[in-house]
Amino acid sequence: MSLTNRILLAMVAGIVLGSLIEWWVGVLDPASELSGFLQDVLILGVFDVVGRVFIASLKLLVVPLVMVSLICGMSSLGTSSRMGSIAGRTIGLYLFTTGVAVSLGLTAALLIGPGKGVEAMAAVSFEPKPAPPLTDTLVNIFPSNPFKAMADGQMLQVIVFALLVGFALTRSGEAGERIANWFRDMEVIVMKMVGLLIELAPYGVFALLTKLFATMGFGTIVDLAAYFFTLLGVLLFHGLVVYSSLLKVLTSLSPVILLQKMRRVWAFAFSTASSGATLPITLRTVEKRLGVSKSVAGFSVPLGATINMDGTAIMQGVATVFIAQVYGIDLTSGQILMVVLTATLASIGTAAVPGVGLITLALVLQQAGLPVEGVALIIGVDRFLDMVRTMVNVTGDATVATIVAHKEGQLDQSIYLDPNADHEGDRQQLAGTGASL
């Protein structure tokens, strides 16, 4: 069985087993030994530990992968001026798709009205962190201590430092070339680590989803069905239709091929709910399966994992309208424009970690003059929707990288069109492990 199919099988098995455990715990006596075993030993013990170890292993690779990928990508451009064009196209496309995303979310929610008839409930408390001023956000992009930025996982600061190092290497003669070669060797080693970790993915995915559905279940989805399915529908439309249309119009490439090759990345994104944790797999897929050059992929994908939060922008649009309708507030055109602007800007520098959308949503509500405590209404179903949002985000990263590479003449179409691209590379990379993809 292929690795992708094994991951998908692990997803289904985890969802089914988790739902069964949640149902079983519900019918058992809470004081019984079996109930205690299921909750304390199985759910919060085995599955929780395995899932957290898997996430930690993925995050382990994020900073070194971003560093070596960006430095190698920047240095490979030499002294040419293509980086300005690549950066301009990439950032422009990311901001454009984010603006489209939040507009779609607002429009769909205004037409459907998921909050009409829903009573305001405050069973869950939510204390939002104070949002930093926009000026501080811009200043914090630039690191004062690059090693502290790496230790803290401040990815925008790491990206800026890596780009500066790569730019300096291109202008340092023989010394720069020697160091650049060292980073290229490091990239091979880091990608080897990615390949080894990917082989263990089915076990991590199974543990994560079993624990999630054993603690959440499907009951919370029923309570907020209108909001849940409105947001889910817009996410799927943006991920499958908007990105596909953008790719077809700007490159004439078949979007079906890209979507087929993203299945493995989607499985990681869905189970981890983190663009950052999925970054190693996204980058490998964009380079090896879609044929994007290292220089473009090494810049566009890490940057996208940091600033491209289309799924979160859609959630903010739908959730804002939902909360306004629950509290009986009619949104003015000025408030709607404020939501679009704030949600687009809030995506820049948003941490690529699970649940961060709730924090940025509090900022959007605050700027629009809506009750921030309304965030408590959607917490129950946000975790599952966060997983789908991450799938949308990584699809956007791959789509933009492919478009930019095509426009810059750095897309290998023979790899893009090859349905088996990277299969042989996987086998070679995992040689000696006894595993076969």
**Is pLDDT of 146 > 80?**
yes
pLDDT value of residue 424 = 43
Tokens 């959630």 belong to: 315
Measured in Å, how far apart are the chain's first and last C-alpha atoms?
8
413 CB contacts (<8 Å, ≥6 apart)? 253, 291
Per-residue pLDDT of 345-380, as tens digits, reads: 666 545 554 555 666 677 677 777 777 767 767 766
Per-residue pLDDT of 251-285, as tens digits, reads: 999 999 999 999 889 988 888 877 877 888 898 89
pLDDT-based confidence at residue 213 (cuts at 50, 70, 90): confident
Q: Percent of the chain, pLDDT > 90?
A: 15
Q: Which of 193, 196, 190, 194 is nearest to 70 (CA)?
A: 190
Is residue 79 classed exposed, middle or buried when 0-12, 13-18 and 19+ CB atoms within 10 A define those classes?
exposed
Q: Is 292 helix (H, G, I), strand (E, B) or coil?
A: strand
Sketch the domain layout of the chain as residue ranges.
Answer: 3-429
* Whether 308 contacts 397, CB under 8 Å: yes
Which residue type does 409 have?
Answer: G
Mean pLDDT score across all residues of the chain? 79
More confident site: 133 or 399: 399
In this structure, how many other beta carbons lie within 10 angstroms of the beta carbon of residue 200? 14
Beta bridge partners of 244: none
Beta strands (DSSP E) in 244-356 are: none
Per-residue pLDDT of 174-197, as tens digits, reads: 888 899 889 888 878 887 887 777
What is the dihedral sign for C-alpha 224, 274, 132, 347? negative
Mean pLDDT on 192-220: 76
Q: Is 411 helix (H, G, I), strand (E, B) or coil?
A: strand
**Is pLDDT of 433 > 80?**
no
pLDDT value of residue 124 = 40
Q: Is 247 helix (H, G, I), strand (E, B) or coil?
A: helix
Report the CATH superfamily, name and number, of domain 3-429. Answer: Sodium:dicarboxylate symporter (1.10.3860.10)
